[in-house]
Amino acid sequence: MTSLGVSVEDRQGVRHVVLDRPDKKNALTAAMYGVLADAVNSASADDVGALLLQARGDTFTAGNDLRDFLDQPPHGEDAPVFRFLTGIATTDVPIVAAVRGNAVGIGTTMLLHCDLVYASPSAKLKVPFVDLGLVPEAASSVLLPRRIGRARAGAALFLGETISADEAYANGIVTKIISDDALDAEAEAAARAIAAKPRQAVRETKRLITHDRDTVVAAIMREGTAFRARLASDEARAAMSAFFQRGARG
């Protein structure tokens, strides 16, 4: 079923969660975050064996829909975006992602919470928070330096450098690089393989390998406080205004 730009369907023990707003490069709105949060947070109770995150079109996601974000800024920990972030950080259900094209902002940081990430050669990861007058989210201030090293994370966060699919693979963000035409099938096969295994053994393994959840959730909340303050700042609004003007010029 497709709702508000996100398609959610359970098949063979796998919950397929597809960003389905290709005309807007799958930019995420508050409504989309609400659907994503519900899909992730209900997976354990619904006896889902694996979550599969995908996107329709040639862009995984352009990140937040900035106009929507400015019109409906997150005001607290119960905001849809934070329910989604804490959900992917704490779920006991393994998450598999299939990424092609640009994965901007949350498109990159959500991958740090996935258990398997398959990417096409076209995948490009980018975290331009500082460029927009903002700060990292999804615990990426902790997880990104941990995964790729502080120096490489600095280049990504402060300079806005893109992380290619090859670099993401070399740094352990990506499990495997797959040709574009085989990407979705391989990711789905992996999710189905996980879903077919003993359910409680899988979930206990997930709990064991994500043993620092309290640290990660604390980082999400700490970042959230800073993010909300930055979002309301004149600096961020000026940076986003410049972004919109560049877009208008094409």
List all residues 6 or more positions away from 82 whose beta carbon is below 8 Å from its beta carbon: 74, 76, 220, 221, 224
Instruction: Inform me whether the pLDDT recorded for 248 exceeds 60.
Output: no
Burial 6-43 (b: 16+ CB within 10 A, else e): bbbeeeebbbbbbbbbeebbbbbbbbbbbbbbbbbbeb
Q: Residue ranges of the domains in the chain?
A: 2-180+199-249
Average pLDDT for 138-152: 96
Average pLDDT for 34-62: 96
pTM of the model: 0.95
Report the length, in residues, of the chain. Answer: 250
8 A C-beta contact, residue 104 and residue 156? no
The domain 2-180+199-249 is classified under which CATH number: 3.90.226.10, 3.40.50.150, 3.20.20.70, 3.30.43.10? Answer: 3.90.226.10
Instruction: Inform me whether the pLDDT recorded for 216 exceeds 60.
Output: yes
Average pLDDT for 219-241: 91
Give the tens place of pLDDT for each residue, 3-16.
789 999 999 999 99
Average pLDDT for 210-236: 93
Provide the pLDDT for residue 22.
Answer: 96
pLDDT confidence tier of residue 177, bands split at 50, 70 and 90: very high
Q: Specify the DSSP class assigned to residue 68.
A: H
pLDDT confidence tier of residue 70, bands split at 50, 70 and 90: confident
Instruction: Inform me whether the pLDDT recorded for 247 exceeds 70.
Output: no
Provide the pLDDT for residue 99.
Answer: 98
Average pLDDT for 65-84: 85
Provide the pLDDT for residue 1.
Answer: 64
Least confident of 126-130, 154-158, 210-214, 243-247: 243-247
Provide the pLDDT for residue 67.
Answer: 85
